[in-house]
Structure 1
Amino acid sequence: MPRDITPLVRLELAGWTSLCDGTGSDFYGSIMTDDAVMVLADGVARARDEVMASLREAPAWGAFEITDERLVELGPDAAALIYTARAFRAAGGPPFVGIMTSVYVREGGRWRLALYQQTPVPDGD
């Protein structure tokens, strides 16, 4: 039976909200596994501590939307959430549009982020 996608979508919404309100470093520091990696649209792969440090300095996002959510079950305690995100910087400029993949594992009864990848959509389409 397919797993309920809702808890993972809620985690993604909470993550994007933290990037808008300036608490991204704390949020991702608490949700990422110790060996987690983020592969970002600029081609950089960052480990958990690097992500936390970069988020302390990152400009805020002003708004975002998540659409086309899909769940890929990887096992009883692992799943990948794939979705399209459109995000707008608080300072203005064109939106960032990408296909996001977040791989979650269940540790200690809660979902933790193990791998995140952004794939930009050319021209924001």
Structure 2
Amino acid sequence: MATLTPDRLLSLEHDGWASLCEGRGGRFYGGLMTPDGLMVLVDGSVLDRATIAATLDAAPPWDSYEIREPRRVDLGEGAAALVYRARAVRGDQGFVAWMSSTYRLLDGEPRLALYQQTTVTH
């Protein structure tokens, strides 16, 4: 059975960012998210798993990313969140935000239930 250790959660986040850099985010997150999972993006969009799976592969890939200051938050039996500051670059545009990824064990495997971005303005 998988666990939601800080290292495991950070590994999942790196895998997700790698998929976004390689243009396969829809496939990756379509498999990682819970059936009722949501992503809340900085532009105000709230996307469900089906929308993510159907559209994210067509998004322009990120050129690079960094994860800083990761912190694990215990949410009880079989659930945890990872909060971190991310910096990503696509072309000449940069993006800095706090990310919050909430995972729960589903059939013994970590699955992403809720993801939220909050833009850093300072």
Into which bin does the TM-score normalised by the smaller protein fall?
Answer: over 0.9
| DSSP-derived class of the 1:43 partner | coil
Matched, 1:70 2:71: yes
Shift of the alpha carbon at 1:43?
Answer: 0.6
Other-structure match for 2:107 = 108
Total equivalences in the alignment: 119
Query: RMSD over aligned Cα, in angstroms?
Result: 1.0
Which position in structure 2 is the counterpart of 1:86?
A: 87
The answer on whether the counterparts of 2:70 and 2:83 sit within 8 Å (CA) in structure 1 is yes
Paired residues for 1:45-56 under 5 Å: 45-56=46-57
Look up the equivalent residue of 2:77 and give its one-letter code: P
**Aligned-pair distance for 1:68?**
0.2
Give the structure 1 partner of residue 116 of structure 2: 117
Q: State the 4+ residue runs in structure 1 displaced beyond 6 angstroms.
A: none
What is the alpha-carbon distance in structure 2 between the residues aligned to residue 118 and residue 74 of structure 1? 19
CA drift of 1:94 comes to 2.6
Runs (5+) with no aligned partner, structure 1: none
- Aligned-residue offset at 1:81: 0.5
Q: Distance in 1 between matches of 2:16 and 2:110?
A: 13
Distance 2:7 2:41 in 1: 24
* Amino acid in the other structure paired with 2:74: E
In the alignment, structure 2 segments of 5+ residues that lack a partner are none
Identical counterparts, % of pairs: 49
Cα distance in structure 2, aligned partners of 1:20 and 1:38: 18
TM-score, normalised via structure 2 length = 0.94
Amino acid at match of 2:24: T
Q: Could you tell which deviates more after superposition, 48-57 or 68-77?
A: 48-57
The answer for the alignment partner of 1:57 in structure 2 is: 58
Residue 31 of structure 2 corresponds to 30
Contact 2:23 2:58 in 1 (8 A): no
Opposite residue 81 of structure 1, the aligned amino acid is: L
